Amino acid sequence: MVTNSLLLLAPSYFQENYRPPRVSDRVIASQTIADYGLNTEQKRAFSIVANHSTSVAPKQLLMYLGGMGGTGKTQVLRALKAFFASRGQGHRLVATAPTGSTSSLLGGSTYHYLLGINQRKSDNDSNLRSLSLSVARDRIRGIDYIFLDEVSMVACHELCSISKKLAEINNIHDLPFGGVNFIFSGDFAQLPPVSSNPLYGQMPS
């Protein structure tokens, strides 16, 4: 059963002086921040994910990275990819988006493809559904962090489908998204989903 709970983390976890347990991780994080020229806000977002990934048995991370176009959200993703790759863990982070054009710019794929969502949705054959689940499970094997860009274009029912599919893949049903860590990125003042209810918007009068 899913319960509403709030996890309070030590303030130092989010501050610049937070020190990952391993010296090598600290060096790589500092070097990555310098290499990608992250500003104060970008550095804060980067550090939350980087610190989480180097912690011992951390709780699930569900994070929103917001900002208008041009504020450098994609730069944070590039830095995170470099950070994971430098630690030999590039497989742990994947970038996704609702559209193929956006996902290609991120060097990733659509979440539909990654998770096998909306494929053969008129097909009720249980064997084919099992095959789709098996393929999706192979695709996300080893992935701990999913970066979902252009979240404003994701409808309510689509986000529910993502969470449900990951719960089935990981066989974890008491945590959202099957316990996978998520970084949602985008600007809710930009494009909404087409002909669907947005995740966030003005209530009708």
Tokens linked to 11: 């303030």
Q: Can you tell me the distance from the alpha carbon of 145 to that of 60, in angstroms, rounded to the nearest whole number?
A: 10
Helix (H, G, I), strand (E, B) or coil at 88: coil
Is it the case that residue 122 has pLDDT exceeding 70?
Answer: no
Let me know: does 80 contact 46? Beta carbons within 8 Å: yes
Phi and psi of 65, rounded to 5°?
Answer: -110, 100
| Upper half-sphere CA count for residue 50 (Cβ side, 13 Å) | 36
Nearest alpha carbon to residue 39 among 80, 91, 75, 86:
75
* Alpha helices, DSSP H, located in the chain: 23-35, 40-54, 73-86, 100-106, 111-115, 126-139, 156-170
The reported pLDDT for the residue numbered 67 is: 85
Distance of CA 112 to the CA centre of its chain: 14
| pLDDT tens digits for range 19-36 | 566 778 989 999 999 999
For residue 152, the tally of other CB atoms under 10 A from its CB is 21
Statement: 61-186 belongs to CATH 3.40.50.300: yes
The reported pLDDT for the residue numbered 177 is: 97
| pLDDT tens digits for range 42-99 | 999 999 999 999 998 899 999 999 988 778 899 999 999 999 999 999 999 999 998 8
Phi and psi of 175, rounded to 5°?
Answer: -130, 145
pTM confidence score:
0.81
The reported pLDDT for the residue numbered 2 is: 47
Query: What's the mean per-residue pLDDT of the chain?
Result: 84
The reported pLDDT for the residue numbered 70 is: 79
